Amino acid sequence: MTTNTPDRARTRFPGISSRAYEHPADRSALVALRSLTGFDVVLRKMSGLFNERAIRLTFLGGAVRAGEDQFRHLHDIVRDAAYILDLPEVPEVYVTQDPRANAMAIGSDHPFIVVTTGLLDLHDDEELRFVIAHEVGHILSGHAVYQTMMMILMQLGSRLAWLPLGNIGIAAIIMGLREWFRKAELSADRAGLLCGQDLEAAKRVMMKLAGGTRLSEMNAEAFLAQAREYDAAGDVRDGFLKFLNLLNQSHPYSVIRFAEIDRWARGGEYERILAGDYPRRADDSSASITEEMRNAARSYRESWENSADPFVGKVRDIADAAANAAGGLFDRLGRRNGGGGNGGGGNGGGGDSAN
């Protein structure tokens, strides 16, 4: 398996909206939240639960900032990713000493990226390009802003857990938020592919996340077959166990991310974006909450119909009803806030790590 792709000219996407690459379930949540006028302002001003300046100073004092004279190649990769996705501000990037492979985007006003030395040691240049662009995708989507808001709400809500059935209600909220976060990771993977424009490199990242550097011992087709086997997963009991295993996960499993990026790359949407057919930020204000909720419900329905998991078949009708109810709720919220909603690429920070 080839581990390096020669550098080449890559397609740029002027004015691209984050809606172009966001998973429908992620996009619908973001469009709905952005439509709630003043919601983000109130939560941003709440007590210092997220002190971006203090966190940045921690890395400024204890890590290495990439630039023209330090980690120049990494700095160039970040700059190129920001250029390709037309990000208004090139994020700073810091390298921190940690053998664990990890990357994250932090902040909202001036988001920055942190990568570990373990990540740099694990990936080749094209793989690193995918990982960095994954974080830039988080930034363009504004995931950190809204995910931080949700974490604040979760902390406030936990104070109500003493109420009758309070724990059940909080648990349901947390389950829903984690499902959103996992879909946000799939969105960022798509942004990574749009920047790197190298599907094989994206796949290698997922394989290395699961099995480390020994690519000679791994096979992409076998890994994809493993993803299909995981999806099929025996009987209803296995499907339920998979559901339980995912509840506390911030990221989908590597085989699932591998299969998802492969499916998206081959499904036509990726090629349309490369050809210049994509939503622009200039049109974000006209994004419809109702339409995005329908897209999310359609996406889940298609996923369920294509799944061989027997547990999915048992809960499909319940989930369809929940999705339709959510669509009606956000539709009412949108009307109360004056129209179609405000979607698209936020000027916020990234979310969870690519690794």
pLDDT value at 352 more than 80: no
Confidence of residue 354 (pLDDT cuts 50, 70, 90): low
What average pLDDT does this structure show over 130-138? 96
139-184 pLDDT per residue, tens: 998 887 666 655 555 666 666 555 555 555 556 666 666 777 888 8
Catalytic site includes residue 269? no
- Provide the whole-model pTM: 0.74
- Please answer whether residues 193 and 130 qualify as being in contact, where contact means their C-beta atoms are separated by less than 8 angstroms: yes
Closest CA to 194 of 11, 9, 5, 7: 11
What average pLDDT does this structure show over 233-240? 65
Of 52, 135, 185, 260, the active-site residue reads 135
Confidence of residue 111 (pLDDT cuts 50, 70, 90): confident
- Name which residue leads in pLDDT, 150 or 282: 282
What average pLDDT does this structure show over 179-202? 92
pLDDT of residue 23: 85
243-281 pLDDT per residue, tens: 666 766 778 899 999 999 999 999 999 999 999 999 998
**CA distance linking residue 338 with residue 135, whole number of Å:** 32
**CA distance linking residue 264 with residue 192, whole number of Å:** 12
Amino acid at 189: D
Closest CA to 40 of 132, 117, 142, 183: 142
| Dihedral in degrees, nearest 10, Cα atoms 223, 226, 227, 229 | 160
pLDDT value at 78 more than 80: yes
Mean pLDDT, all residues of the chain: 76
- Name which residue leads in pLDDT, 45 or 145: 145
Calculate what percentage of the chain has a pLDDT beyond 90: 43
What average pLDDT does this structure show over 45-62? 74
pLDDT of residue 106: 86
What average pLDDT does this structure show over 32-44? 56
Confidence of residue 55 (pLDDT cuts 50, 70, 90): confident
Closest CA to 55 of 96, 19, 21: 96
Sign of the alpha-carbon dihedral angle for 284, 198, 263, 175: negative
**CA distance linking residue 123 with residue 144, whole number of Å:** 25
- How many CB atoms neighbour CB 286 within 10 A? 13
pLDDT of residue 241: 74
> Can you tell me which residue has the tokens 């985007």?
105
All structural domains of the chain with their residue ranges: 18-336
What average pLDDT does this structure show over 33-37? 55
DSSP SS3 for 235: coil
Instruction: State how far the alpha carbon of 155 is from the alpha carbons of 150, 168, 185, 214, in Å.
Output: 9, 15, 22, 41
pLDDT of residue 9: 84
- 70 CB contacts (<8 Å, ≥6 apart)? 64
